[in-house]
Chains A and B, each alone.
Chain A
């Protein structure tokens, strides 16, 4: 394999990994607040369709991203209402969010299936650093949303591990009763991060319809929302580790395409199975290896918080 091909594959791995990355970062924040949201797939789909429609009408991909963010946040607020205030089962609520989002996106997107987007995000080179050999053409010949993700990750890491607000967030996920007695408004924290999580999932979805594909088709996410949930476990709830995971998964995705193009004798269907099978294998390895020491999952993840039962 020549270096050029390797560079092309790695650059595509970043592009393919970026929607996963946004969604996984959102889910990390949500789960850090102790709420498991399995509606990522649904929120991404609604983000993808609403972002696409907005970009189509305004001819501005940024307007699309903002609308997708709001749509993802709105979807997530349903989950917050059900699980935080009404103490519904988080797993079932998340699943219904995905089913609802699949239907809603199919409904809204029906009239625009296959419509091309005239003004999508463009790839542009960042001067000077894009000429760094090897790394430059992989990392710095990308689009604005990829660059934005480069900024979000260190910020989020700093926020989680180096700020008081971040510490409060982690406290809520670990031990809400203790956080409550310290004067942290547990319910508000949960609402806020579930909604921010949804916004990031929305951006992840919009990246698919505005940049990666770029068009709207039904179920455009093809399970990426679920892979993002798996990525959170792989990343042990740490945003810095999510990058690695997202790009590896993106690479697997890209490799499938590449092999298909190279006319390898493996039928395309088996190559398309790769990301899903890889997710399962990664989960088994990560969970198995760390099962003894809890792999860092927030202690109260998935449990409803009830002040009266404290």
Chain B
């Protein structure tokens, strides 16, 4: 059999270390290209892209209200993004952030409903603990079969999202439904002591502080501890990790527990800081958006703070464009498109790309 594969026009040569300039440049250019592509799409579907984008931008950052709302929406994205990044570092694909957020909210609500007349310093820590525990344990369910049987965690974590959402649906339509709630699928409001303090007269709550502190702690764990080093080694080369005698199965469970616990905190913070009660569909897919938030920063916990703010703004901007008759779904479209460009651009950080002047035969 003869081979006559033409050599590709573009040739790639692996770089020894990723270029730091590209690490920053690629996300920035990607945002620009995603917006550009989105603009073309908007124009094709008969919308004025400039009008949509300015409504989005003004809605998100153009007023004190918009700005603070963007921060409020960034908080769950920050927490969940941090949680997912821990797992992604080890190539553990926890796609169950959404379900862990819901279970965290369930745990926190359980405490809030159990302890209506206790002081804040008892209730809030108990809610955080219960939220983290519920989210963490929810993530351990798929972690055990992953660790010991090699069962694909992507699908199991994802399936558990649907189960968790239905579980919360059951509670708010059934046993936990507020009798005074005019038949809405909501629980009674939390007592004062179950509510996170807010910044001045804004809705920005202490969840932001929790998120920033956790970002620093997780950064230190990943880059400054033996545990973090081992996670990175397992993520980059599982074979070498096993050869070095690391107990990978146990690490899978611990890392998923941490990942789910931080996502659970996102659910706790959202309820305790914003909605003040458990309600159906309180998360508009924070757990999924957080995947992009985490990936955009190449899983850097400190970078996630900035990416979460950007995406919180997009979320608020999405509400704003609805006023102009544009569906809010345009936001997840832009976010998905953004990730495409980031992924495509990654080749520039990992490879030296050169364009061949002529096509020649390539010996196979």
Task: Say yes or no: A100-B155 contact (C-beta < 8 A), given A95-B291, A181-B364, A183-B364.
Answer: no
Q: Which residues from chain B contact A108 at a C-beta distance below 8 Å?
A: 45
As a 0/1 sequence over residues 89 to 116 of chain A, the CB contacts with chain B under 8 angstroms (1 = contact) are: 1011101111111111111101000000
As a 0/1 sequence over residues 72 to 92 of chain A, the CB contacts with chain B under 8 angstroms (1 = contact) are: 000000100110001111011
Q: Which of B2, B156, B167 contacts A280, CB < 8 Å?
A: B156
* Contact B343–A92 (Cβ < 8 Å): yes
| Interface set, chain A 89-147, CB cutoff 8 A to B | 89, 91-93, 95-108, 110
Interface presence of B233 (CB below 8 A): no
Chain B: number of interface residues, binned into ranges = 35 or more
The main secondary structure of chain B at its interface with chain A is helix
Measured between C-beta atoms, what is the minimum distance from A260 to chain B in Å? Answer: 13
Measured between C-beta atoms, what is the minimum distance from B155 to chain A in Å? Answer: 5
Task: Say yes or no: A279-B155 contact (C-beta < 8 A), given A107-B327, A107-B333, A183-B1.
Answer: yes
Closest chain B residue to A90 by CB distance?
Answer: B343
Measured between C-beta atoms, what is the minimum distance from A41 to chain B in Å? Answer: 9
**Complex Cα–Cα for A269 and B362 (A):** 59
Closest chain B residue to A110 by CB distance?
Answer: B327
* Contact B332–A99 (Cβ < 8 Å): yes
**Complex Cα–Cα for A86 and B336 (A):** 17
**Complex Cα–Cα for A97 and B327 (A):** 19
| Interface set, chain B 302-346, CB cutoff 8 A to A | 327-337, 339-340, 343-344, 346
Q: Which residues from chain B contact A106 at a C-beta distance below 8 Å?
A: 327-329, 332-333
Task: Say yes or no: A226-B333 contact (C-beta < 8 A), given A280-B142, A287-B149.
Answer: no
* Contact B155–A269 (Cβ < 8 Å): no
Closest chain A residue to B329 by CB distance?
Answer: A106
Q: Which of A103, A107, A223 contacts B335, CB < 8 Å?
A: A103
* Contact B158–A223 (Cβ < 8 Å): yes
Measured between C-beta atoms, what is the minimum distance from B307 to chain A in Å? Answer: 14
Q: Which of A11-19, A207-215, A270-278 contacts B (4 or more CB under 8 A)?
A: A270-278
Measured between C-beta atoms, what is the minimum distance from B342 to chain A in Å? Answer: 8
Closest chain B residue to A88 by CB distance?
Answer: B343
Interface size on A, residues (CB 8 A): 58
**Complex Cα–Cα for A55 and B162 (A):** 30
Interface presence of A308 (CB below 8 A): yes
* Contact A82–B340 (Cβ < 8 Å): yes
Q: Which of B3, B156, B167, B347 contacts A269, CB < 8 Å?
A: B167
* Contact A88–B344 (Cβ < 8 Å): yes
The main secondary structure of chain A at its interface with chain B is helix
Q: Which of A267, A272, A287, A308 contacts B152, CB < 8 Å?
A: A287
Q: Which of B102-110, B168-176, B208-216 contacts A (4 or more CB under 8 A)?
A: B168-176
* Contact B347–A88 (Cβ < 8 Å): yes
**Complex Cα–Cα for A246 and B291 (A):** 29
Interface presence of A233 (CB below 8 A): yes
**Complex Cα–Cα for A307 and B363 (A):** 11
Q: Which residues from chain B contact A91 at a C-beta distance below 8 Å?
A: 93, 154
Interface presence of A165 (CB below 8 A): no
* Contact B364–A279 (Cβ < 8 Å): no
* Contact A183–B149 (Cβ < 8 Å): no
As a 0/1 sequence over residues 174 to 204 of chain B, the CB contacts with chain A under 8 angstroms (1 = contact) are: 1000000000000000000000000000000
* Contact A103–B334 (Cβ < 8 Å): yes
Q: Which residues from chain A contact B149 at a C-beta distance below 8 Å?
A: 284, 287-288, 291
Q: Which of B5, B12, B174, B329 contacts A103, CB < 8 Å?
A: B329
Q: Which residues from chain B contact A270 at a C-beta distance below 8 Å?
A: 166, 170
Q: Which residues from chain A contact B339 at a C-beta distance below 8 Å?
A: 92, 95-96, 99-100
12 contacts between A and B (CB under 8 A): A82-B343, A86-B343, A92-B343, A93-B340, A95-B95, A95-B291, A96-B340, A104-B329, A110-B329, A273-B167, A283-B152, A283-B155
**Would you list the 3 A-B pairs with minimal beta carbon distance, nearest first?**
A100-B336, A106-B329, A103-B332
